[in-house]
Amino acid sequence: MSLLTSLTAIPAMVPAATTVGSPALNISIFIGFVAITLGIVIYVSRSGSKTAGHMYTGGASFSGRQNGLAIAGDYLSAASFLGIAGAIALQGYDGFLYSIGFLVAWLVALLLVAELMRNTGRFTMADVLSYRLKQRPVRMAAASSALAVSFFYLLAQMAGAGGLVSLLLGVSGAAAQNIVIAIVGVVMVAYVMIGGMKGTTWVQMIKAVLLIAAAAVMTLWALGHFGFNFSSLLQGAVDANPKAGEKLLAPGLKYGLTTTTKIDFISLALALVLGTAGLPHVLQRFYTVPTSKQARKSVEWAIWLIGGFYLLTLVIGYGAGALVGPEKIGAAPGKANAAAPLLAFELGGSPLLGIVSGIAFATILAVVAGLTITTSATFAHDLYNHVFKHGKATPEQEVKVARWAALAGGAIAILGGMLAKDQNIAFLVALAFAVAASANLPTILYSLFWKGFNTQGALWSIYGGLISAVGLIFFSPVVSGKPVDPLTGRSASMLQGVDFAWFPLENPGLISIPLGFLLGYLGSKLSTEHDAGKYAEMEVRSLTGHGVAKAIDH
């Protein structure tokens, strides 16, 4: 049944062909994790989220180490744990390239944007982009881009949640996964409505510790099956996958090493490396610390934690390929996204499966809650207050609108997750990175470093990068077309059986990212608008942070 049909024809829930572990034990552990994390949100948010500062940034009360841990918890999403592990299990070397790209991207964030964004903005990315330019059109453009990026990122998390809980419950079918996705949406909205950024940040910190600890345990356990010899583990993965064989250890397995796939890899690499510095929910985390020094320290902590975790996913992915096997992974709910939970069951039975899946689900909830805060802040702060109300809305009105925006964002995320539930979530996140790198990063860098940048350049770079990235995704094999995964034998498109794809690459970054930079340059050069004084003021502010809150309030 196609993903599109699943929205209109809901089949009965049926037991999966093979029940993994004890559904009663699995769901008990899962409910326990949800209850504990929700309790933490309620406890740390007793002071309330009545002001915009507390709702969006937790009152900028976190240290660099705490925020670095929260960034790791936010960034190590379902894509990092479930998606990359599954990609490595089925695609080997090609899957690990996601880890490399996601990690290297933090160097760009550290060196180019972390400190300067913290000094220049207050709540959202648009605070920075609109400071030296015309407020209303730039905020509208930045908000459009932020919402689009967050939507693609939310798709990945919701898709992971559907497959994970379906695996826990031992059920399959579109209806079962759709119900699970709806439950995830409801819980994530509860996190945001109750705790705001402060509650979400504490959950992300705790979740990061649990996730890294669980990954370390699984890594040691999997290596123990092969005498703590990594080469033996790799050989085991090769032996368990005769269709791929030695190709698991070399690039080009996904669809064959053709000219198109080589170019697609370059496009993917550009999106991964440049996308992090343009992700709205990552940029917003820089405002949760009190100083620019703490913002730098946040990124330094995040790099070490994230880098260490990605090394663990290499063992988990190949370990799943060796001990579980590609056929069992491909037949499970969520397909490749089930590789890590299946490995947990293979290693430690139902208890370890329940614990790992509970942590993974807490990962999804925390990341989705962070994304929901970003979308609600974007709508309430940038659109409602500064565009619709011309900056005259009260903090109470803004927070109220933010809560309603969180509800609307949850509903949209639920519908999108139902459409994308069979896609590899690391792959879906890469699309979000492409949009962020195409629309947001050029505008951020031009705003911070180019004196000649102006409003027309900002609008051209944001809308040009956004439209080109989303448009190319829509007309690529990701949405339509009939690419067949050689390992699963099934179509990898969202709309299976529909073919209107004319763009051959799966990731648009190679075209849309340079286009975003080019349009920003051309738009600025073809406009007569120029305000060197405003740029000089922003330059001082970005280097010192002096007066930023007063300027943005004004």
Model confidence pLDDT, tens digit, residues 442-483? 998 888 888 888 889 999 999 999 999 888 888 887 776 655
Q: Is the confidence at residue 260, as pLDDT, over 60?
A: yes
Cα torsion angle, 79, 80, 81, 82, sign: positive
- Alpha-carbon distance 238 to 249, whole Å? 8
Average pLDDT on 197-219 reads: 85
- Alpha-carbon distance 342 to 212, whole Å? 18
Of 22-36, 129-143, 341-355, where does mean pLDDT reach its minimum?
A: 22-36
What dihedral do alpha carbons 356, 360, 366, 371 form, nearest 10°?
170
Q: Is the confidence at residue 16, as pLDDT, over 50?
A: no
- Alpha-carbon distance 50 to 398, whole Å? 10
For residue range 51-96, what is the model confidence (pLDDT) as tens digits? Answer: 665 666 666 667 888 888 888 887 787 667 777 888 888 888 888 8
Q: Is the confidence at residue 489, as pLDDT, over 50?
A: no
Q: Is the confidence at residue 416, as pLDDT, over 60?
A: yes
Most confidently modeled range among 19-33, 150-164, 290-304, 470-484 = 290-304
Count CA within 13 A, CB hemisphere, residue 222. 34
- For domain 5-253+281-422, give its CATH number from 2.60.40.10, 1.20.1730.10, 1.20.140.10, 3.40.50.12780: 1.20.1730.10
Structural contact between residues 112 and 132, judged by C-beta atoms closer than 8 angstroms? no
454: amino acid identity, one letter: N
234: amino acid identity, one letter: L
If DSSP codes are grouped into helix, strand and coil, which group holds residue 494?
coil
- Alpha-carbon distance 210 to 539, whole Å? 40
Q: Is 411 exposed, middle or buried (0-12, 13-18, 19+ CB in 10 A)?
A: middle
Taking alpha carbons only, the member of 362, 28, 323, 368 closest to residue 213 is: 362
What are the residues facing 14 on neighbouring strands?
Answer: 172
pLDDT of residue 554: 40
Average pLDDT on 240-250 reads: 81
Most confidently modeled range among 49-58, 138-147, 374-383 = 138-147
Q: Is the confidence at residue 218, as pLDDT, over 90?
A: yes
- Alpha-carbon distance 501 to 479, whole Å? 8
Map tokens 């459409």 to a residue.
419
Q: From the CB of residue 331, how many other CB atoms can be counted at a distance below 10 Å?
A: 15
For residue range 322-375, what is the model confidence (pLDDT) as tens digits? Answer: 998 888 887 776 677 788 888 988 898 878 887 887 787 777 777 777 777 778
What dihedral do alpha carbons 295, 297, 299, 300 form, nearest 10°?
170
pLDDT of residue 6: 30
Containing H/E element for 171?
Answer: strand 171-172
Map tokens 């509903």 to a residue.
411
Measure Cα distances from 140 to 4, 61, 130, 211, 429 in Å. 31, 29, 10, 37, 24
pLDDT of residue 72: 85
How far separated are the first and last CA of the chain, in Å rounded? 54
- Alpha-carbon distance 79 to 98, whole Å? 9
Concatenated DSSP letters of 338-349: GHHHHHHHHHHH
For residue range 176-189, what is the model confidence (pLDDT) as tens digits? Answer: 667 777 777 777 77
Encoding tokens for residue 152?
A: 């693609």
